[in-house]
Chain A
Amino acid sequence: MANSEFKEGRRLVAQQPSPKPIGRASWATRRRPSLGLVTALLCLITSFTFAEEAPVSFKADLAPILLNQCQSCHGPKKAKGGYRVDTFEHAIEVGFDELHYRMTTDDEDDIMPPDADRIPAEQIALFEKWQQQGQIYDAQDPTASLAEIIPRRRHPDPPKVYPRAIPITALAFRGDDGSSLLASGYHEITEWSTVDGTLKRRIKNLPERIQSIDIAPGGKRIAVAGGSPARYGEVRIVDLSDGSLVEILHKSDDLCLSAKYNPAGTQLATCGTDGTVRIYDTSTWLEVAAFANHSNWVNDVAWNADGTRIVTGSRDKTAKVFDIDTGKRISSYNAHDGSVYAVMFDNTGDHVYSASADGKLLYWRAEQAHTVRELISQEMPIYRLATADQPETVTIAGGMPSVRTIDFRDGTTQAEYTSEVGQLALAVSGDKKTIAVGDSSGLVRVFQVTSKERATQRFLALPLVKN
């Protein structure tokens, strides 16, 4: 086992801390020449010496400890005392002897984490054992974040029946006709018949919370963005035919919030609480572009019709338009005074809709970021946007007790569908004739654009205990 990994050339023996920060380049140069015979021997020796004992893995055993115990103060957002441990490269710069001292010292001023229980002895022992075993880095890129390298295991199964209702945070219609609806669950996606409100299927091995479901053009796969708050975030690509896992993308330490296929289905845009937007090639799943222009969570991402641009909405109260080919930001829109929850291009691609926590729906020019029209200004936030019925309209769902379709040309309300407050999910069928919304109490309402106002179906989209 040790040999095969050695051959892959992926294992690195940790060096003593260097006085200078180690950049990418110096790692590359260090890797080849200094990982010569000596290192190889070292690896072999350590491997043999500890052959009996299960090796301690940095990525599986130590990274979660550093992530949970240290990163909030010594990471990319804050680097108290100038120390960071959010990547292996940073951690080795601090030095594992120093880390060990900080976790074990009796000096009240030096002990880490401060103002908390000590790190448990068995976790300290893992560090010690790993150091004895030669400080081997068993992931690929020493500059990768801890969240990225921690191996993802299979998610726990969802509860057979739910003890309590949970909010519906994501919905997607499967197929064009609006008869079948995918809904977010707890560690699962459930599929429902909108005709009679019955549960058709449960897709497991998914993150705890699901913030967004997007069906790939062609309908064979779905991209699911989610995670567990302050624990992990990811985008999972799932094969709809058998529910099998295709790929895990955008691994981070807090929720992923949205993932959208381009209209051709060749690329996937993802975004999340780490403030980044990433573009993946859907055949190789390689990251082809990344944008880190937002200073806070990126709540939503949307493509234009020809797949050349994306628009993003962020908790930093801005929306931004990016060109995928050049990797450049085209505009930044800052007329909102609240977290921008939802963004969408209009049918021409020249304009953007953006909706925010302060209850505004704004319509603006993608190129210049100039406001064309304030379509809505309401008391409650707007969470979701979609296009239903006519291409010149936008449909909104949010804090208000109704779902509305607005004509962007004059701001008039084309249709208003009665619901309750707290609509957290919105979906429109492929044929644009059926609308579904999900709310904070787990209820899904289905509307037909032909029969306005009243819901044609209403059901709890959760496998609940029947009282």
Chain B
Amino acid sequence: MSVIKVACVLVWLLGSFVALAEKSQHEEADLPIVPIEVGAPLRIDVSPKTFTFTGPRDRLQLVVTGYYANDEVADLTRATKVTIADGSIAESIERSIILPRKNGTTSATISVGGHQATIDLQILNRQSTEPVSFRYEALPSLSKAGCSGGGCHGAPHGKGEFRLSLWGFDPALDSETLIAEEFGRRVNFIEPEKSLFLAKPRNEVAHEGGLRLRESDLEHQTLVQWIESGCHVDLHQKRCVDIALTPGEGLTLKRPHHTQQLRVEATFEDGTVKDITHLCAYESSDEKVLRISRHGLAVGMGRGEAAVIVRYLEYIESTILTFVEEVPDLEWQTSPPQSYIDEHVYAKLEKFKYLPSELCSDSEFLRRVSLDLTGLLPTPEAVETFLNSDSADKREQLVEDLLASEPFHLYWTQKWGDILKLSARQMGHSGVVKFHRWIRDSVAENQPYDEFAKEILLATGSNLITPTSNFYRSGSDTSDIMESTAQLFLGTRIGCAKCHNHPYEPWTQDNYYGLSAFFNRIETRKTGRKGEVVVWMNDEGDIRHPATDEIVEPWVPGIDQMDLSADTDRRAAFVEWLTADTNPFFAKVEVNRIWSQLMGRGIVEPFDDLRDTNPAANQPLLDALTEDFIAHSFDRKHIIRTIVNSRTYQASSRTNEWNETDTRYFSRYYPRRLSAEQLIDALGDLTAIRESFSSVPPGVRATQLPAPDLAKHDRNKIGDIEFLKVFGMPERQTVCECERGDDSSLGQALELFNGTTLHGMLSDTNNRFHKALSEGRTAKDIVTDLYIRAFSRNPDAQELEISTGYLETAEDKAKALEDLVWAVINRDEFLFQH
């Protein structure tokens, strides 16, 4: 029960965030819409080709597209003249909407840009007294106004003691709440407009949620009509089975064209199709690129891509719109692409006119790739060798050397430790150590990723003998394990669907329990031996759907029937599906995760949140990497190698005139702060005062720790876990990489300013610089060594002059040297990977 509550609170938090980000629906008057320039299209296309009105309140939104030379397209819907052949049967109103007037057949002629098209119209049931549908008209109207969103009354406990189901998921509950709760307080049958649930969103009486609905809005009229019908509720009417969005395929609009009218149709179980454009709620995945009016007009705000998200009850559809424009004076030029990665990245950048930055220097590359692959700064010897080498393929050679090194194995083991939740709290000390060793060996052997996943998911037996069975100790129950598995290997945050259909993905509650059914027979039991837990698979036990109480059969996307004989481990069928070459998620999630670990940002971001409503920054690139990964039998080192050898990875982090505003398409390397572990190790290497951690052998670096909680941390012990926590070392409570903090905080500034860790390192007379001073090394020597260790480069003339001058003239040379080192450490060039 408590798990469900926690999950719902998380959903609610997500909901609040979404509500904050998105606010109310945009009015068109508030959007910067450039009038349509019709010009001379080669042809036009009208959607739909023919339409039948089947209800008295039906309407039809047309979408008219113009096709031009150079493959350009433009939405001409609102520049179109619509003429109805028989005006007594139907009428056309603004925004190219057609309304029925009386039963009959007629046609509409669409004229724009010198072209004409005709569509046939049939009107049925115009005189029908069919009441407003609570489920398919009233509830969507409340959704559209935002009432039933996760940040408002759709939150698990509602808002202001008024609770609706999330996006109208539970019509029976909502009808009770709206009509009957508290003596019918929320509706007014005599004067429907005065109903509380309308007066509140109109902001006519105090409403903390502000203005959400206007009297002139169609939603408002619909809701008033629903009350006038006596709040008619028919929960058994014909069901909606699907919705479809026009344009369904993504398209590219070029300035001055930057608007696109959307059209949404719902199909009901009896085959009727209704235009529901006016009943849908619209969202944009990125408001900086795209905003959508409440009437379904997408408006481009700048260059880039964004998803249009359309919501109708529990249905979600999305399409991607791309907005491009000419950038005057930009002369397109790039270094030659090194691989398919650069080709795809450059193609995208050229489309959006972001000129990639030049190639980074050797120093920058050495420092960057060492940190990325080993977590450690390069040694002065490595710097010297690399900078002095004039071998043409020295960068490739360096990458090979690093990939074969033990620090690489251990650092990438730590990355997996984060998301597999290796912690003593969950798995016990020996469990962590064993599992950690297993992952390290897997990385070192470059175990194919599918086998890696198989070994983890199919683990059985003692956690001390089969290390991977510790995975089944990382969750509180089998649902939790399933959720972790889905997020790790499918890139899906399916937890929401435990209690209701997922608000942003096509995952339903049925799917959640279908996936859970693969895992719910797993049993774990402690043995007498300390720290030992045995994992095995029961051959019976079924999961029941909380709503229907029926047994749910194991289910995976895209497969109708699974071969599950009674005595087999159900997980085997799941893993077989998961690791198949054809699985649409498995390889993609991993290449995106690797990309994100190297580039600081996923092609899909967040990298483990793959869904249609969260578009990739570069889909062809993601597809190509995925294909390459599968073609190389899930060879993770191959993908790492391919990425770090690309020009894209090796681009400078400095911006040029043409890519300053890009934060998404990888026109340059995006600098990021060293992680907690990288930082403490870098400080240790720089000062030669290395941290030693309790409960691990001496010499184990922070970037190689098996778990953050192997020893109880001691606040007073310099440099122990406290410093790491301040800089965002995760406690490994979730499978989300987001648990690792990459933000900046006051605590970090204070640690770097005069924290005990740093102060201890600087003032230690055994540190590298005090020693060098006492050995009588020259100021130039000391400063040069400092620069090489900190920045993987020599100081330039000015830096050298200032530093040596300061050191030589100082009265207390030791203090002066401490100041110099402190100043270097506090430079962005040191604190950041760039």
- A residues with CB within 8 A of B: 67-73, 78, 113-117, 159, 162-167, 169, 186, 208-209, 211, 228-231, 255, 315, 383, 422, 424, 440
Contacts and interface: CB of A to CB of B under 8 A. Distances in A.
Given A159-B190, A440-B180, 7 more contacts: A70-B206, A71-B206, A163-B189, A163-B190, A166-B189, A169-B183, A211-B183
A422 B180 CA distance: 9
Contacts of A72: 206-208
Contact of B205 (A164, A230, A440): A230
Contact of A230 (B183, B206, B211): B206
B623 interface: no
B interface residue count range (under 10 / 10 to 19 / 20 to 34 / 35 or more): 20 to 34
Given A159-B190, A164-B190, A255 B208 contact: no
Given A72-B207, A169-B183, A230 B190 contact: no
Contact of A116 (B203, B205, B230): B203
Contacts of B205: 68, 230-231
Contact of B210 (A116, A169, A229): A116
Given A116-B210, A116-B211, A230-B199, A68 B186 contact: no
A231 B200 CA distance: 10
Contacts of A186: 190
Residue in A114, A162, A231, A383 whose Cβ sees the most chain B Cβ within 10 Å: A231
A231 B204 CA distance: 9
A255 B206 contact: no
B189 A164 contact: yes
B777 interface: no
Contact of B185 (A78, A255, A422): A255
Nearest to B24: A115
27 contacts: A67-B206, A68-B204, A68-B205, A68-B206, A72-B207, A72-B208, A73-B206, A73-B208, A78-B208, A113-B210, A114-B210, A115-B23, A115-B209, A116-B211, A117-B211, A164-B190, A164-B228, A164-B230, A166-B184, A186-B190, A229-B185, A229-B186, A229-B196, A230-B200, A231-B199, A315-B161, A383-B183
A68 B208 CA distance: 11
Contact of B183 (A163, A167, A228): A167
A113 B185 contact: no
List 9 tightest A-B contacts by C-beta distance, closest first. Answer: A72-B206, A115-B210, A116-B211, A230-B205, A164-B189, A229-B196, A116-B210, A167-B184, A229-B185
Given A114-B210, A229-B185, A162 B190 contact: yes
A165 B232 CA distance: 13
A402 B346 CA distance: 75
B211 A115 contact: yes
B206 to A, nearest CB: 3
Contacts of B230: 164-165
Interface string B220-248: 00000000101000000000000000000
A282 to B, nearest CB: 27
| Main SS class of interface, B | loop
Contacts of B184: 166-167, 169, 424, 440
Given A162-B190, A230-B200, A69 B183 contact: no
| Main SS class of interface, A | loop
Contacts of B207: 72
Residue in A116, A229, A383 whose Cβ sees the most chain B Cβ within 10 Å: A229
Nearest to B179: A440
A376 to B, nearest CB: 20
Nearest to A211: B183
Given A167-B184, A229-B185, A255-B185, A117 B190 contact: no
Nearest to B214: A117
A117 B203 contact: yes
Contacts of A169: 183-184
A67 B185 CA distance: 20
Nearest to B227: A164
Contacts of A159: 190
Interface string B616-650: 00000000000000000000000000000000000
Contacts of A70: 206
Contact of B190 (A115, A166, A422): A166
Nearest to A162: B190
A296 to B, nearest CB: 8
Contacts of B203: 69, 113, 116-117
Contacts of A69: 203, 206
B102 to A, nearest CB: 26
A230 B641 CA distance: 65
Contacts of B24: 115
Nearest to B184: A167
A72 B205 CA distance: 9
Contacts of A424: 183-184
Contacts of A166: 184, 189-190
Nearest to B208: A72
Contacts of B188: 208
A383 B184 CA distance: 13
B217 to A, nearest CB: 13
Nearest to B160: A72
Contacts of B200: 230
A230 B205 CA distance: 7
Nearest to A228: B194
A167 B184 CA distance: 7
Contacts of A78: 208
A166 B191 CA distance: 11
Nearest to B23: A115
A115 B203 CA distance: 10
A445 to B, nearest CB: 18
Contacts of B189: 162-166
Contacts of B209: 115
Nearest to B204: A68
A316 to B, nearest CB: 11
A72 B183 CA distance: 23
Interface in B564-590: none
A76 to B, nearest CB: 12
Interface in B319-353: none
A159 B200 CA distance: 24
A163 B205 CA distance: 25
A114 B24 CA distance: 12
B175 to A, nearest CB: 12
Residue in B183, B185, B203, B228 whose Cβ sees the most chain A Cβ within 10 Å: B183
A424 B180 CA distance: 10
Contacts of B186: 229
A356 B230 CA distance: 28
A79 B200 CA distance: 19
Residue in A67, A159, A228 whose Cβ sees the most chain B Cβ within 10 Å: A228
Contacts of A315: 161
B227 to A, nearest CB: 9
Nearest to A230: B205
A323 B251 CA distance: 74
B129 to A, nearest CB: 14
Contacts of A113: 203, 210
Contacts of A164: 189-190, 228, 230
A231 B196 CA distance: 9
Contacts of A422: 180
B146 to A, nearest CB: 11
A108 to B, nearest CB: 12
Contacts of B161: 315
B172 to A, nearest CB: 14
Residue in B23, B200, B203 whose Cβ sees the most chain A Cβ within 10 Å: B203
Contacts of A71: 206
B208 A230 contact: no
A315 B194 CA distance: 24
Nearest to B229: A164
Interface string B95-126: 00000000000000000000000000000000
Interface string B392-422: 0000000000000000000000000000000
B722 to A, nearest CB: 36
A70 B211 CA distance: 13
A186 B228 CA distance: 16
